Amino acid sequence: MELSNKVKKSVMAGMAVTMAATMLVGCGGGDKGGAKGDSKVLKVGVTNFADTLEPTQNFFAWVVMRYGMGETLAKFDEKMNAKPWLAESWKIADDHLTWTFKIRDNVKFSNGKPLTAEAVKQSIERVFAKQNRAKTFFEYESIEAKGQELIIKTKKPVPNLPGQLADPLWLIVDVSAEKEGRDFAKQGPICTGPYVCESFTRDKCVLTKNPNYWDGEVPYEKVEVPSIDDPNTRAMALQSGEVDMAVNIAAGDIGLFRNNDKFHVDEIASLRTVLARINQKPDHILSDKKVRDAFISACDRKNYNEVLLKGTFKEGSAPVPPSLDYGFDQLKDPNKYNVERANKLLDEAGWKDTNGDGIRDKDGKPLTLDFVVYNSRAELPLYAEAVQADAKKVGIDVKVKSVDYNIIDKMGINGEFDLLISNITTAATGDPQSYLNQYWHSNIDGSNPQNGSGYSNPEVDAKLDALNSEFDKDKRRQLIIEIQQIYLNDAAGLFLGYPYTNIVSSKKITNAIMHPADYYWITKDIKPAK
Amino acid sequence: MGRKELLHRLGQMLVTLIGVTILTFGLTYIAPGDAVDAILETGDTLVSAEVVEQTRHELGLDQPFHIQYLNWLTGLLHGDMGISYSAKMPVVDRMLLGAPGTLALTGIAIVMMLVVSVPAGIAAAVYRNSFIDYLSRVLSFLGVSMPSFWVGLLMLYIFGLKLGMFPISGGEVDLRHMVLPAATLSVVMISKFTRQVRTAVLEELGKDYVTGAQARGIPMNKILWHHVLPNACLPLVTLLGTYIGWLLGGVAVVEMVFAWPGLGFMAVRAIMTRDFPLLMGFVLWIAIAYMVINLIVDASYYILNPRLKKRGGE
């Protein structure tokens, strides 16, 4: 078919227009990185999970606190001890039930109203009214406000009440502001922190300086917090200078910022433990302590954390992570990596490979274990597969069963596993008491349903009960260390590793620090560098 | 399209909608776990069984399937789609937060696609087996083969980080933030659509009426623009409809890479957290969007192909 020049011309013209249009769109409003060197505006790249700023909904209070809006009566230091914050001091009466908190008298809410004990009382009552989780922290007989004194009488002794009240759920809001029409969910609550919400969506939060802040000068006029869920994109935004700091840069990207004189990496072990619960009910293979010991000894945990996970996790051994001061270094792990010992123990337990298939067996039954994992945390399947490979070397056949996050809890309670992995917060309130109770306190007729693994040791129960009502800090610490040592001796669980968390910041700002309690990201201390 | 047929179509849509909602509700119901586990993060937080049960009761998740579905349906008929469990706000409000992003991205990506694909496809057909044709073929293969998250990261790296032309962090719906995600989406669509335009045009060019018109001395240019292209439009409009439907459903991967506030990522989260009300709202939106698009596509046939109008009018 012959085509005229005209056709050619019109087609070409069409293409030219196309190209031009694409180029034009492509050039629309180029602007090289916004945040560079601005001493009035701080920009922070995060991942946000909250759709509203109502602190009593789901876990949204974490965001209110992380963004520098909310503050609690007590604040955790770097060893997770509760220190005075909005309360300047507290004391416990001899009945071990009555706590008196002295509220600072120089604190104002961001709307200028003074922070009184009555305001704190209303805020605490509001949490109880709106969130079921409240009572897992403590239950109260009465709350009384006298001037700047807040008196809380608990139903049961709560040794760590200041720590419980340092959880973000208990950040103090001005309840009267809500009555006057402030929509906490959409506009953000009225709190006492250095910054106040100006606008909020899940994707971006803009904060402004709290003009009534009580604790010194607030360094920035404005803080912008875009939520950048993709870790690669977050790293790029930091590299380009679009954000001044970013929370949790991924393993693959952190190398870009280490040994780079433009950035500062602050990295610490978090409060989490990657734990594989071990089912030791009588009808399970791992009820035999020798097999448990052998299994744990076969796992090269140093390798998993340092090589496989590129050092983004710390090698696991004890139940409570080393970020907390509960004797991590003095605990003795009897089941350190030792393949020889693992083989010997399995032989002793009567598991031998009689049919030569590489898997040990006993009474015609192969040594096969179900390892339940969920995928929503990327490291968990990696751990499981690494354990599987190591177990194979000593003749244990591990079957990795991948399930949805939402059924992990149920499978744990029902004991539908030989091993079940989770990445668990051990001390959200500064103290591992609930964690140590929840998985290992004896479950007698459903007294502790979360212990679905059948672990039961009267000595542990006695120590846990003592811990639950002990108020003396040193004695508590000692008990926690002893309990951990028994767990290790009993092979009560496989403690695989502890994740590191990080904040990476441009050197144009200072004091961007990651705390073990993952609640304090944007603080009054973050300032432009001089 | 006559009134009778329109009514018939609307009836069909209603039946489809009910089917879609029952199916989605049923699938979410039988999926293991429920919203309570997600809300309380039971998998990796310490929560007592009592609190879990209490929360489940409050959300009505302890009721049997048909009661839950009927409650939802009753609400819907009263214009209330419920409160999202994970977002803790009315489903409509949550969806309205994602809708502008998705609609804007759909619009721009479709325009980008048309602006590139239509001329390129026509050129490839008109100059069949020429350099242009081969080039467009190679680029198409390349475009289809690259996963969109990778194209997105590449675009961010080049145009965001290296050249500093566009913002990286996203979170806002405006033209500057929209260009890279729209371009990323259009890469795949351009690659497919260009080939389809080429095929459609080629098919028409080979038909007798083109030869006839040429024999009568009508200039090729006129034949191409006045006769070939309108006829080639028919199959392309159908394809265009499916692309628009796909985009309106949100594109989770691209939204994630560009931190773009759209419906796709919202839907993925709704599934992960077993957030029935939100998920149902999303499914309704998709179903209605597809049905409306199909209706429009069908209606457009009557305009593009007058022969149908004659028959339909009888």
pLDDT at A386: 96
- Interface test with chain B among A25, A273, A373, by most B beta carbons within 10 Å: A25
Judged by a CB distance cut-off of 8 A, whether residue A6 touches chain B is: yes
- B51 and B177 share a domain? no
CA atoms within 13 A on the CB side of B183: 24
- Is A44 buried (19+), middle (13-18) or exposed (0-12) by CB count in 10 A? buried
Name the residue among A453, A454, A409, A373 with its Cα closest to residue B52: A409
Per-residue pLDDT tens for B146-169?
A: 998 999 999 999 999 999 999 998
CB contact under 8 A, B44 and A226: no
pLDDT at A75: 96
CB contact under 8 A, A376 and B170: no
pLDDT at A7: 53
Residue B64 within a domain: yes
Looking at beta carbons, which residues of chain B come within 8 Å of A12? 123
Specify whether the backbone of B170 is left (phi greater than 0), alpha (psi in -120 to 50) or beta.
left
- B275 and B168 share a domain? yes
Q: Residue window 42-61, chain A: list those with CB within 8 Å of chain B.
A: 45, 51-52, 54, 57-60
Per-residue pLDDT tens for B258-308?
A: 989 999 989 988 888 888 889 999 999 999 999 889 888 888 888 877 777
> Looking at chain B, which residue has its C-alpha nearest residue A420?
B43
CA dihedral A52, A58, A62, A67 (to 10 degrees): 0
Looking at beta carbons, which residues of chain A come within 8 Å of B220? 1-4, 6-7
Name the residue among A218, A221, A199, A217 with its Cα closest to residue A208: A221
CB contact under 8 A, B42 and A54: no
Looking at beta carbons, which residues of chain B come within 8 Å of A133? 40, 47, 51
Tell me how far apart the alpha carbons of residues B26 and B29 are, in angstroms, rounded to a whole number.
5
* Sequence-separated (6 or more) residues with CB below 8 Å from residue B18: none
Looking at beta carbons, which residues of chain A come within 8 Å of B44? 272, 377, 408, 422-425
Name the residue among A274, A277, A264 with its Cα closest to residue A509: A264
Instruction: Locate the domains of chain A by residue range.
Output: 41-262+507-528, 272-499
Quote the DSSP letter at residue B273. T
> Is the domain A41-262+507-528 a CATH 3.40.190.10 member?
yes
CB contact under 8 A, B42 and A10: no
- B300 and B162 share a domain? yes
pLDDT at A35: 43
Given the structure tokens 């931190």, which residue do they identify? Answer: B259
Per-residue pLDDT tens for B237-265?
A: 988 998 999 899 888 889 989 989 999 98
Q: Which amino acid belongs to residue B33?
A: G
Name the residue among A31, A148, A15, A151 with its Cα closest to residue A95: A151
Q: CA angle B27-B30-B33, nearest 5°?
A: 115
Q: What's the CATH fold of domain A272-499? A: Dipeptide-binding Protein; domain 3 (3.10.105)
Residue B102 within a domain: no
List the CATH number of the domain containing B281.
1.10.3720.10
Tell me how far apart the alpha carbons of residues A102 and A92 are, in angstroms, rounded to a whole number.
12
pLDDT at A485: 97
CB contact under 8 A, A203 and B170: yes
pLDDT at A352: 93
- B130 and B187 share a domain? yes
Domain count of chain B?
Answer: 2
CB contact under 8 A, A409 and B37: yes
- Interface test with chain A among B34, B42, B44, by most A beta carbons within 10 Å: B44
Mean pLDDT taken over chain B:
87
CB contact under 8 A, B161 and A239: yes
Reduce the DSSP state of residue A357 to 3 states and report it: coil
Final residue of a domain: which of B56, B77, B98?
A: B77
List, in sequence order, every residue forming a beta bridge with A401; answer none if it has no partner: A372
Rg of chain A over CA atoms, in angstroms? 27
- B118 and B37 share a domain? no
Instruction: Quote the domain boundaries for residue B161.
Output: 107-313
pLDDT at B52: 82
Tell me how far apart the alpha carbons of residues A225 and A206 are, in angstroms, rounded to a whole number.
6
Q: Residue window 263-282, chain A: list those with CB within 8 Å of chain B.
A: 272
In the predicted model, residues of chain A with pLDDT beneath 70 are: 1-38
Q: Do domains A41-262+507-528 and A272-499 have the same CATH topology?
A: no
- Helical H segments across A217-277, by residue range: 231-240, 251-254
Tell me how far apart the alpha carbons of residues B158 and A343 are, in angstroms, rounded to a whole number.
54
Residue B220 within a domain: yes
Residue B85 within a domain: no
How far off is chain A from B246, nearest CA to CA, in Å? 22
- For chains A and B, CB pairs below 8 A equal 208
Q: How does strand A493-506 pair with strand A272-278?
A: antiparallel
pTM comes to 0.83
Give me the helix-helix angle, B148-155 and B175-205, nearest 10°: 130
Tell me how far apart the alpha carbons of residues A495 and A328 are, in angstroms, rounded to a whole number.
12
Name the residue among A519, A184, A480, A483 with its Cα closest to residue A324: A480
- B274 and B152 share a domain? yes
Per-residue pLDDT tens for A228-253?
A: 988 889 999 999 999 999 999 887 78
pLDDT at B64: 85
- B67 and B204 share a domain? no
pLDDT at A21: 47
A277 and A434 Cβ atoms separated by less than 8 Å: no
